[in-house]
Amino acid sequence: MNAPHRWLQNNPGLGDGPIPVEPYISPEYYKREQEKIFSKVWLCVGREQELPKAGDYKVKRLDAAKTSVILMRGKDMRIRAFHNACAHRGNTVVTETGEETFGASKAAIVTCRFHGWVYGADGALKLVPQESNFYDCFRKEDNGLAPIHVDTWEGFIFVNVAQTPDATLAEFLGEYAGHFAGFPFDKLSYEFTYRTYLDCNWKVAHDAFAEAYHVETIHAGSFPNAFCGGLENVKLMGPHRTSAVCLTLGATPTAVATLANSLAQGSLVAVRGESMLPPTLNPDHRPNFAFELSVLFPNTLIHVSEGIWFTHQFWPMGHNKTLWEGRYYVAPPTSYSQRWALEHAMTLQRNAWLEDTATMEDTQRAMESGAKPFQNLQDDEILIRHGAHVVDTYVNA
Ligand code: FES
Ligand SMILES: [Fe+2]
C-alpha cells in the first residue's frame, strides 16, 4: 500500500494548493515565456540521424523563440545551427515547406532563393551575385549567417538561441542526462510521426500527457484496463521530471493484438523485459513496468521502454495555439510480418494520441471562459504541479 500523498510528501516545496489558469490563457504570460524560457533554454530540435551525410540540412521553425533555425552538417561532419535569415534583405535563406524542411547539398551550401546569396555549412557568406555593385563598406566576411548555440546529447540535437546561454547543455540537463544514459536510442531507429495544430496553450498539451489519471476514461477505447492510473518512481530533477507508468496486467488483448505482439515488440500494452534499460529506470524491477514518462523542460516528453521509445513535443505558436508532434521509435522490422505487427502498434498508438489530443481544445475553451480560475490537482498529477512551478519560476526570474 502506497502512502497517501507520497509525491507531495517527497516534494513539499511544491505546495498543495490549486494551480491558477491565468498562465494558460494570458497572451502577456505567453510573451514572458517566449522571452524568459524559449529564448533562453536549450530546446530539442531533432535527431542526429536526420542529417546523416555532409551537406544535409534541416530547418525547424521556432515561433516561441521568434526564429527559424537551419541545422546543417558540414564536410567536417559537425552539425552547426544558424538563424534562417539572409544578410541581404532578411528573407529566410531556406524556404520553409512545412513544420520541418529537409534538404541535401553535396557542396554543403544553402542558397537564398530571393537573390541567390550562397552560404556555407560554417555559415560563411560564399557568393554574392553582382558583388561589385555593392559599395566598398560591404564585406562578405562580416555577413555570414548568424550562429545559434548547438549541442547534442544521446543523438538528440539541441539549440539555444540566447546570445550567451546561462548554462551549457550538460549543465542544463544535469541529472536528467544520467538518468537515461546508455539507453539505445540510436538502435531503435524505425520511426513514425504524427503532428497536428491545436488551438490550446502548450501547457494544456503538456499536462494532458504528463499524468496517467486519464487513462481509464479517455483511453477506455484504445487501452481498456491496460495501465495503472498512478505514477511510480517520481523524480524531480531541476526543471526536468520523470516517473514510471505501470501496467494493470488485467488487460485482455484482442486476437489481432496477441498475434502482433508475438511478431514484434511494438506495442506498449505488453509485459516487457529490461535488457535495454539503464539501472536508473525501473530500479525496483516492477514486473508490470510499462514505460518511463519524463519531461525534458520545457516542451519535450521522452518515454522509454524495452524496445520502444517515443516523444511528444509542444511547439507554442501563440498563447492558445500549439503544434504537437508525437514520434514513436522501435527496432527496424526484419520481415513483412514484423512490418505488419508494427503497423498494428502504430495504429493503436495513433488512436490513443487522437484520444489525448481531442481533450485539449475543449480544455482551452473552458479555461478561457473564466468560469474556473483554478485547477485542482491530485497527488499523481505531481508532474503537472512541478511543471507549473518551474514555468512560473522562469517567467518571474
Ligand atoms: S534576401 Fe537573400 S539574397 Fe536577397
Ligand atoms: Fe493519454
Centroid of chain to Cα 242: 14
**Residue 89 alpha carbon, nearest atom of ligand 1:** 1
Please tell me the distance from the alpha carbon of residue 291 to that of residue 391, in angstroms, as a whole number: 25
Q: Identify whether the C-beta of residue 180 lies closer than 8 Å to the C-beta of residue 154.
A: yes
Q: Is the CB of 31 under 6 A from ligand 1?
A: no
Half-sphere exposure of 335 (CA within 13 A, CB side): 6
Q: Is the CB of 115 under 6 A from ligand 1?
A: yes
Q: Identify whether the C-beta of residue 111 lies closer than 8 Å to the C-beta of residue 86.
A: no
The pTM assigned to this predicted structure is 0.96
Of the pLDDT bands very low, low, confident and very high (cuts 50, 70, 90), residue 168 is: very high
- Per-domain boundaries in the chain: 43-164, 175-395
Mean pLDDT score, 67-74: 98
pLDDT of residue 265: 87
Q: State the cell numbers at 317.
A: 505558436
Residue 88, Cβ density class (10 Å: 0-12 exposed, 13-18 middle, ≥19 buried): middle
Other Cβ atoms closer than 10 A to 358: 12
Mapping DSSP to helix (H, G, I), strand (E, B) and coil, where does residue 177 land? helix
Closest CA to 380 of 206, 207, 124: 207
Domain 175-395: assigned CATH number: 3.90.380.10
Please tell me the distance from the alpha carbon of residue 179 to that of residue 153, in angstroms, as a whole number: 12
Residue 270's contacts (CB-CB under 8 Å, 6 or more residues apart) are 253, 261
Q: Is the pLDDT of residue 40 over 70?
A: yes
- Characterise 282 by phi-psi region: left (phi > 0), alpha (psi -120 to 50), beta (else): left
Centroid of chain to Cα 30: 19
Please tell me the distance from the alpha carbon of residue 390 to that of residue 253, in angstroms, as a whole number: 39
pLDDT tens per residue, range 240-270: 999 999 999 988 889 999 999 999 989 999 8
Closest CA to 74 of 121, 31, 30, 110: 121
Q: Is the pLDDT of residue 3 over 90?
A: no
Q: State the cell numbers at 295.
A: 519531461
Q: Identify whether the C-beta of residue 123 lies closer than 8 Å to the C-beta of residue 87.
A: no
Mean pLDDT score, 213-228: 92
Q: Identify whether the C-beta of residue 150 lies closer than 8 Å to the C-beta of residue 292.
A: no
Secondary structure element (H or E) that encloses residue 22, with its range: helix 22-25
The pair phi, psi for residue 6, each rounded to 5°, is -65, -30
**Residue 112 alpha carbon, nearest atom of ligand 1:** 2
**CA of 114, nearest ligand number:** 1
Fold adopted by 43-164? Rieske Iron-sulfur Protein (2.102.10)
How remote is the CA of residue 170 from the centroid of ligand 2, in Å?
30
Q: Is the pLDDT of residue 2 over 90?
A: no
pLDDT tens per residue, range 319-364: 999 999 999 999 999 999 999 999 999 999 999 999 999 999 999 9
